[in-house]
Chain A
Amino acid sequence: MNPRAAFFTGLRAVMPLLLGVAPFGVIYGVVALQSGIPALAAMAMSTIVFAGSAQFLLAQLVGAGAPFLLAAGAVGLVNLRHALYSASVAPLLARLPRRWKVLLAYLLTDEAYAAAIPHLLADARGPQSSQAHWILFGSGVGLWSGWQVSTLAGVLIGARLPADMGLDFALPLTFIAIVVPMISTRALFAAAIAAGVAAVALAALPYKLGLFLGALAGLSVGAALGRKPA
């Protein structure tokens, strides 16, 4: 695969996710304004922080007048799961110059990672030199653009927001489309079950910690089973 093909592979892969991300971006824009955040700052947050659930939380905390350190700490906790994605793609990006690593780390979100990962795995198995960075760049740019446009839409036309059309269901559906075909062994199946059960059981924890701990539970169960001969 050449760089251009890899870029468009990533870009195409993230498109279905935009269907679900766009309503979130619009709602974020509305919530930010309602929290008393000026339109310019609400837009700037989408480029500076660029993390959907953290931005929602920040907007609410700012609106509630939460203390500075508590708000920043909450953002750190909400985004903790991104460290898992960082660890997951790190070996693929080891030989790149720093400017690539910085750019791809900035663009590393749930959705961009999810969209790219099946293609990254296929790329790593392939005979040619790795195009992992172009795949990640394609999915990252696609998601970034969609997030900025939908945030802007929320800030500009927020008051006339259409009723809930269920488009946010595109996110779980796309994750299902990505995960299910990846489950090729008993250990991967057990990892998925453990992660799902733990995430649901721990969903009441604040700062989305249930997602992070659920993922850790899945990793542990998977690794414990994966080590044994099948």
Chain B
Amino acid sequence: MTLWGLMLVSGVLTFAIRYSFIAAEGHYQPPPWFALLLPFVPVAALTALTAPELLLVGGALDVGAGNVRLWAGLIAIAVAAIWRSTLLTIGSGFLALFLLQRL
């Protein structure tokens, strides 16, 4: 029974975090600096998710030629910057990964 209790508490906690600001909207007056932060949430949060995936191998920084995910990712970044296409970015990243793994 502890397992189900733990799942329930975890679920409620997760929901509470996701609901927090959505529920509070209109019921509180955020400080002025708060509104300045919000436009940066997508770029900051998603880069924080992505950078370790490219730069860390087994928990350690690896910027060597052997870190194929880093180089494939950099190619994808260049493709995304030039063509701004989701499919092209994902396609080129996978293609680069595939080719680099076989070098």
Contacts and interface: CB of A to CB of B under 8 A. Distances in A.
Q: Which of B13, B37, B47, B76 has most A Cβ within 10 Å?
A: B47
Interface string A199-226: 1100110000011101111111011001
Nearest to B101: A166
A75 B13 contact: yes
A49 B10 contact: yes
A104 B21 CA distance: 12
B93 A176 contact: yes
A49 B14 contact: yes
Which bracket fits the contact residues of B?
Answer: 35 or more
B6 A68 contact: yes
A26 interface: no
Contact of B19 (A86, A176, A219): A86
Contacts of A175: 46-47, 49-50
B5 to A, nearest CB: 7
Given A173-B76, A177-B89, A79 B14 contact: yes
Interface residues of A, number: 87
Interface stretch (A3-11, A141-149, A152-160, A187-195): A187-195
A86 B59 contact: no
Contacts of B44: 191-192, 194-195, 214-219, 222
Nearest to A204: B59
Contacts of A108: 18, 22
Interface SS of B by simple majority: helix
Nearest to B11: A48
Contacts of B69: 169, 172
A177 B41 contact: no
Interface in A37-54: 37, 41, 44-45, 48-51, 54
Nearest to A225: B40
B32 to A, nearest CB: 10
A175 B6 CA distance: 31
Interface of A: 13, 16, 19, 37, 41, 44-45, 48-51, 54, 58, 62, 68, 71-72, 75-76, 79-91, 93-94, 101-102, 104-106, 108, 110, 113-114, 117, 166, 169-183, 187-188, 191-192, 194-200, 203-204, 210-212, 214-220, 222-223, 226-227
28 contacts: A13-B86, A50-B14, A58-B6, A62-B3, A62-B6, A75-B10, A81-B48, A83-B17, A83-B20, A85-B41, A105-B19, A105-B22, A110-B45, A113-B45, A114-B46, A169-B93, A173-B90, A173-B93, A176-B80, A178-B42, A181-B84, A187-B40, A199-B51, A210-B52, A214-B47, A214-B51, A222-B40, A223-B36
Given A48-B7, A68-B5, A215-B41, 16 more contacts: A49-B7, A72-B6, A88-B38, A105-B18, A105-B23, A114-B42, A169-B69, A172-B73, A175-B47, A175-B49, A176-B93, A178-B46, A180-B77, A188-B40, A218-B40, A219-B40
